[in-house]
Structure formats: C-alpha cells, structure tokens
Amino acid sequence: MIIAVDGPTASGKGTIAAALAAHFGLPLLDTGLLYRAVGRQVFLDGGDPDDPGDALAACAFPDALLLDPHLRSEQTGGLASRVSIHPSVRAALFERQRAFATQPGGAVLDGRDIGTVIAPDADVKLFVTASAHARAERRWKEMQSRGLEVSLEEIEADILRRDARDTGRKDAPLAVAADAHVLDTSALGRNEAIAAAIEVVERFRRG
C-alpha cells in the first residue's frame, strides 16, 4: 500500500505521515528533507540556490547530511523552496523517491508532488492543508518553544512566499491530485488530524 501525503509548509503533513507510517507499519520518506539537504549543501558550498547549476551540483550531498540538525531550520526550509523550483534538481531526486515508493510492501511518502508526480499510482492520496494564518501560528509556537525570537507576521509572510513558489513553479507545482482526499487541519488539534487521516486510509482498506 502506497500512501501519498502532500500539502503546503507547516500544514501538519509531516506529523500525519509519520503517524500513518507507524500505525500501518510502513516505511516513511520525508521527501522535503531531500530538498532541504540540497539547499543546505548549496549553502555549505557557498553557492546560489537560485542558480540551476549550483543547485544541481548540491544534489550530490553526502547521506550523512540528512542527519544534520540544521536541515530543520527556517533558513534551510527557505533554501529548499528555492532549489526545488529547478527541473534539473527535481529530476535528480525523482528516481530516489520513486524507488522508495515502489518498494515491496508499500510506503508512506510526504512532500508536495507525491500524489501528482512521484507516485500518481498511490493507493491513498491525502492533501493536508490549513490556512496560512493557522500554519504561521503553529510554526511561531514551535519556534517560541525552542527559544527562537521571530514575529508571527514574519513567519506568515515567509509561508506565503513559499506557497507562491511551490504552487507557481513550472515543474511539478504543489497541486491537489484529482483523486486526493483534502484534509483541512486549520481547526484540528494534532490527535484529531491524525485520527481523521487514519480513518481515510481505513476506508480505503475496507474497500
């Protein structure tokens, strides 16, 4: 069983994907982490994330970079959004994601183009979304808990910029697959959102 979980930044898709993988005993791939690694490698190389050549060269990042705690930072998230617009970068990472999706027994993948590009044949497709304000509030609270000082307005502005890049890029834009179940988490708590997602998958399994 292949489960595709797509959605914009800070929508809760990562949390939901991890919960689905644990609940159904499936391996999980956070595809966004691959793009964050490319963005981080560009930074480490002193390159320009908006330059296709610099971004493609960074796709050769060492596997150890996936364990770098800096990958979860807001700065690296912004870099990931910028390198992901390059078709050459998406092509370089496509096979890696596709191989994970089609492994025996199935898998859960979360990202922005799983149900539309990476695994259009997925058994279950979820598109997890929430209002920009709700997503900004969640990210702001998370950063506050980590002792990071940033304004809610700054975070919301950054989220809107990322949304524009993700939905507006020419290659594999963020979009809702025609057969995806849209789950709006704006008014849902963590456990409520996870329960709703599990129910969607269970309905598929029941046929």
Q: Which domains does the chain have, with CATH numbers?
A: 2-206 (3.40.50.300)
Please report which confidence band the pLDDT of residue 97 belongs to, taking 50, 70 and 90 as the band edges. very high
Enumerate residues 6+ apart whose C-beta is below 8 A from 86.
52, 55, 56, 171
Asked if residue 126 lies in contact with residue 197, where contact means CB atoms within 8 angstroms, the answer is yes
Tens of pLDDT, residue by residue over 126-168, are: 999 999 999 999 999 988 888 888 899 999 999 999 999 889 9
Asked if the model's pLDDT at residue 103 lies above 80, the reply is: yes
Structure tokens at 148: 């990071």
Across 68-105, b (16+ Cβ under 10 Å) vs e yields: beebeeeebbbbbbbbbbbeebbebbeeebeebbeeee
Structure tokens at 207: 């046929």
Please report which confidence band the pLDDT of residue 201 belongs to, taking 50, 70 and 90 as the band edges. very high
* Best CA proximity match to 90, nearest among 68, 112, 106, 74: 112
Asked if the model's pLDDT at residue 207 lies above 80, the reply is: no
Asked if the model's pLDDT at residue 38 lies above 90, the reply is: yes
Name the DSSP class of 1: -
Per-residue pLDDT, averaged over 49-69, amounts to 94
